[in-house]
Chain A
Amino acid sequence: EIVMTQSPATLSVSPGERATLSCRASESVSRNMAWYQQKPGQAPSLLIFDVSTRATGTPARFSGSGSGTEFTLTISSLQSEDFAVYYCQQYNSWPPLTFGGGTKVEI
């Protein structure tokens, strides 16, 4: 099983600031890596897939990068609607499909 480790667990930022979230895989997942956003009381929604491809409707301020085992989600200028929990997920080697533990982005 590939273990996905996200850091930090909580990220405190101000609107307009840049946020950088990290995700590490226990072994290479190639480019089969996605990021999801989950707001309180809502289902997760796909933000980024294949490391760096924005899903339909994802604003350009969100970008993904990395390869192999180290990945980053960057939010260039945080907006109020971006405060949420973000999960990384690998879909390279499964079952099981595995998620990271999440990073909460808060004010």
Chain B
Amino acid sequence: EVQLLESGGGLVQPGGSLRLSCAVSGFTFSDYAFAWVRQARGKGLEWVSGITGGGGNLYYADSVKGRFTISRDSSKNTLYLQMNSLRAEDTALYYCARKAGWVGSYPFDQWGQGTQVTVSS
């Protein structure tokens, strides 16, 4: 069974940091590209960052560029999102999503259940 399980969310003060993790199972991790997608409460979906199957190409939304870093560890079958200099507007439910391919143009065919990030003093 394909599973994506996010963790690492929580309450953090503005300017603080968090590292999100997404542990995957049920498929070959290195065969797929991944992304983080967030959703503020009551709002739509916003793509945040993506990484190719080999980890050689990283992509970021302008809103997080320079503050967030995506990475992957094939030995642990885990995707990460290091979030620094957090702002109130980063408050959202963060989903890990699998792209239906290793590199290139594919939809998101599997999603985790999300981890909540709240940035507030």
Contacts and interface: CB of A to CB of B under 8 A. Distances in A.
Contacts, number: 58
A91 B107 contact: yes
B105 A89 contact: no
Given A95-B50, A95-B59, A96-B61, A44 B45 contact: yes
A43 B35 contact: no
Contacts of B108: 34, 36, 44, 46, 89
17 contacts: A34-B107, A34-B108, A42-B113, A43-B113, A44-B45, A49-B106, A49-B107, A49-B109, A87-B44, A87-B45, A95-B50, A96-B59, A97-B35, A97-B47, A97-B50, A99-B47, A102-B44
Contacts of A46: 107-109
B95 interface: yes
Nearest to A89: B107
Interface string A23-52: 000000000101010000011111001000
A43 B107 contact: no
Interface string B46-58: 1100100000000
Contacts of A66: none
Given A34-B108, A102-B44, 7 more contacts: A34-B107, A46-B108, A49-B106, A89-B45, A95-B59, A95-B60, A97-B47
B100 interface: yes
B5 to A, nearest CB: 12
B112 A99 contact: no
A96 B49 CA distance: 8
Nearest to A49: B107
Interface in B70-113: 95, 100, 105-109, 111-113
